[in-house]
Amino acid sequence: MSANPFTYVIILALSPVVIFLGHTFLSRLLKAVPRQVTAGLAMIIGFFPVAALEWLFILKNSALSHPDFKAGMIYSIFVYSSIAYSYFHLFNMSETARRIRIFHEIYKKGSVTRKDIEILYDSSQIVGIRLIRLEDTGQLVKIGNFYKIKGRSLLWVAKIIKIWDTLLAHPRPM
Amino acid sequence: MNPMIPIFGGVLFFISLTVHIIIWRIKKPKNDVGALFFILMILPTLLLILFGLGFALAQGRTDLVFFSSLTAVALFYLSLGSAYIQTYPVVQAESPSLEILLAIDQKMPHGLTETDILKLFDNSTLVQKRMQDLINTKLIIEKNNAYHLSNTASHIIRFFHLYRKALGLEFNVG
């Protein structure tokens, strides 16, 4: 007999809470580890309690070869991955997003002028921080004065985003 | 789980994504994030409610499993939509990290120096474009040559302060 789909919904809807709790614990435990790596670890580790709950309440009574079992697995993997990916982006926004930085500055001061924003956030600072981050995560290597591509994973993401950008027909200033 | 649940959820997501691409290619909405939220979250929900009501009336389905299945379909496309909306800002306002990687890749095997990379960016590209996006989406209000936070933006930044406090991290984005 098939499980009520609502059981999947309840367990998967709890997954952001599971990831957040894991992240809270890991970010205090692994202070020397880059913060985005800690968030990534929380996403991976969070999968196990969610999978265990699904196994306990739904899947252990299903035959592995049954189409309902496979559909449940596919459904859970897609939904969990999407939620975990959204969580990672939410955290990343609090780490790197320019708009959150701008909100923070206005919130602190009440209001800011265009000049304040330009002084606060010059392009050399933005580029400098990102070059360090790309080196730390193994995407770039500095040989002499030249930065070169080392890892290819983020470069592929950049290429896919550029293709999607073309599909949406955004004008790009660069 | 009935295999039709992830299939139907996927179909609703792809219909919404197609509507998004068509509208963006004709004319990108001024409040693009708001429009995207409507297209990927509200539109498929309206379609699902119409389908659910139609199916329930035609087939006489008013049982719990049927409505649970519709909820599971909704969670499927909502989680995919959320993942897409989180990725969209990278496409909409160019990401410095991805632009750096693409620029260096074009100059391989020599690579680029930090000075070369800095020439690709200026404040109007990195900050002013983002400020204009924030004004367009009514998150920032420009008044008497100064920027102020809207109520929504104040709530967002308070949420991020609390979130990072819970993670045991100071607020130091950039």
Distance CA A139, CA A149 (A): 6
pLDDT at position A174 is 47
Distance CA B63, CA A155 (A): 49
pLDDT at position B72 is 94
pLDDT in tens, B108-159: 888 999 888 988 877 666 677 778 878 888 899 988 889 999 999 999 999 9
Mean pLDDT (chain B) is 88
Write down the residue that tokens 């919904």 correspond to: A9
Distance CA B153, CA B134 (A): 9
Distance CA B44, CA B68 (A): 17
Average pLDDT over residues A128-144: 88
> ipTM score of the complex?
0.82
Mind telling me how many Å the CA of B57 is from chain A's nearest CA?
Answer: 21
Distance CA B13, CA B2 (A): 18
Q: Percent of chain B at pLDDT above 70?
A: 94
Which chain B residues contact residue A93 at CB under 8 A? 160
CB contact under 8 A, A149 and B108: yes
**Predicted confidence band at A31 (pLDDT cuts at 50, 70, 90)?**
confident
pLDDT in tens, B39-52: 999 999 999 999 88
pLDDT at position A170 is 57
